[in-house]
Amino acid sequence: MHDYRLAAIPGDGIGPEVVEAGLEVLRVCAATDGGFGVAIQAFDWNSENYLLRGHYIPDGGLEQLRTFDAILFGAVGSQRVPDDVSLWGLRLAIVQAFDQYANVRPARLLPGVSSPLDKGDDIDWVIVRENSEGEYAGHGGRAHRGLPIEVGTETAVFTRVGVERIHRFAFELASQRPRRHLTLVTKSNAQRFGMVMWDEIFFEVARDYPAVKVDRELVDAATTRMVLKPDSLDVMVATNLHADILSDLASALSGSLGIGPTANLNPSRQFPSMFEPIHGSAFDITGKGIANPIATFWSVAMMLEHLGEARAAQRLMHAIEETTAAGEHTPDLGGQATTRSVTAAVCRALTG
Ligand code: ATP
């Protein structure tokens, strides 16, 4: 029997609440599967400790994290630390150091959940987000701070290697889905350099995947298409920033931000991949016991799939669907369930 070594980074806000729930479900899933075990180590890298220690990740922390099979992440962000400091200090420090360049975000309406869209049942998408460069490359600077001539630049960086590998990843993924349809999301009308290259390389890679139907959509038009014609989309590939925005929309259209999962993949498996809910710290509901843990459970299912435990991943997805179908909904979905009651229901479905 294989024992996976997993790192858990609960982080801030509702992160610890949903990660605790996710680990409970994972343990039950492993125990009832019988084919694998999990050994979990938790890391207290969060904003409270940043304020005490002056860093999110200690010296040698990434080297230690690297030895794990996968990472389950909660959320980072605190009212007491500027958002750019917390994001770059923890989440992006891991994503970039471990070259987790493919960010995969599935969205679909789970049974029993209602969508703000009439055609919500038609939502069945995967958003592939470029996760290593683009608008999040960290290139830019500020000068003449506080003076009238102050300047700030934020440069989006696109490299041939970076663009080609994410498009190839998206084509591979699209070719494994029944509809085999990939939409290129772009803004190459207004942005004439990196974005035009982004488009060109997409159509170069497309030649290697004749079975995948392709089309191209400007990011602004993509938002209306998601709302008005959800069934016309299958897999979308978009830049770091565009996909970040589209996936919040996708999550809300499929019922709540508390549902959407994410995989930050290092497809070469040179480094561990990281799995997390799309949502952030959600301070407004922190500590109330009502955070929706479904996004984290779905992220755990993606982690199991990545580890090669497809059967367990499927069982977990079924247990999640059984739970949502039975109306066990937290307040974000219009119900009165709690994090604990949803977790217990998923565990029951796994054992039953
Ligand atoms: P970030 O910038 O870290 O991505 P954000 O600004 O997008 O965060 P979130 O913290 O993700 O904001 O949450 C936005 C709102 O959505 C929250 O205030 C909360 O009400 C709701 N929400 C997010 N996640 C959940 C969840 N798991 N369960 C219930 N409600 C949630």
Residue 229 catalytic?
Answer: no
What whole-number distance in Å separates Cα of residue 307 and Cα of residue 239? 26
Q: Which domains does the chain have, with CATH numbers?
A: 1-103+257-352 (3.40.718.10), 115-254 (3.40.718.10)
DSSP-based three-state secondary structure for 290? coil
Instruction: Indicate if the pLDDT at residue 160 is higher than 90.
Output: yes
Average pLDDT, integer, range 89-100: 96
In ligand 1, which atom is closest to the CA atom of 294? Answer: 27
Q: What sign results for the dihedral spanned by CA atoms 309, 314, 316, 317?
A: positive
Ligand 1 touching residue 251 (CB < 6 A)? no
Instruction: Indicate if the pLDDT at residue 236 is higher than 90.
Output: yes
What whole-number distance in Å separates Cα of residue 65 and Cα of residue 49? 18
Average pLDDT, integer, range 191-204: 97
Report the share of the chain in percent with pLDDT over 90.
98
Q: What separation, in Å, do the N-terminal and C-terminal C-alpha atoms of the chain show?
A: 23
What whole-number distance in Å separates Cα of residue 200 and Cα of residue 34? 48
Ligand 1 touching residue 258 (CB < 6 A)? yes
Report the run of H or E that residue 144 belongs to, with start and end. Answer: none
Question: Could you tell me the pLDDT band of residue 75, with boundaries at 50, 70 and 90?
Answer: very high
Quickly count: other Cβ atoms within 10 Å of residue 129's Cβ.
27
Instruction: Indicate if the pLDDT at residue 267 is higher than 90.
Output: yes
What whole-number distance in Å separates Cα of residue 28 and Cα of residue 33? 8
Instruction: Indicate if the pLDDT at residue 309 is higher than 90.
Output: yes
Question: Which mutation among 76, 283, 284, 285 tests ligand 1's pocket best, with the greatest number of atoms within 8 A of CB?
Answer: 285
What whole-number distance in Å separates Cα of residue 326 and Cα of residue 197? 48
In ligand 1, which atom is closest to the CA atom of 296? Answer: 27
What is residue 350's predicted lDDT score, i.e. its pLDDT? 97
Average pLDDT, integer, range 262-290: 97
Written as one string, the DSSP assignment of 6-44 is: EEEEEESTTHHHHHHHHHHHHHHHHHHH-SEEEEEEE--
Instruction: Indicate if the pLDDT at residue 352 is higher than 90.
Output: no
Q: Where are the beta strands (DSSP E) in 31-180?
A: 36-42, 70-75, 102-108, 124-130, 134-143, 151-157
Question: Could you tell me the pLDDT band of residue 25, with boundaries at 50, 70 and 90?
Answer: very high
Written as one string, the DSSP assignment of 162-210 is: HHHHHHHHHHHHHHTSTT-EEEEEE-TTT--SHHHHHHHHHHHHHTT-T
What whole-number distance in Å separates Cα of residue 226 and Cα of residue 333? 20
Residue 56 catalytic?
Answer: no
Average model confidence (pLDDT) for the chain? 96
What whole-number distance in Å separates Cα of residue 161 and Cα of residue 331? 44
What is residue 1's predicted lDDT score, i.e. its pLDDT? 78
Instruction: Indicate if the pLDDT at residue 30 is higher than 90.
Output: yes
What is residue 290's predicted lDDT score, i.e. its pLDDT? 98
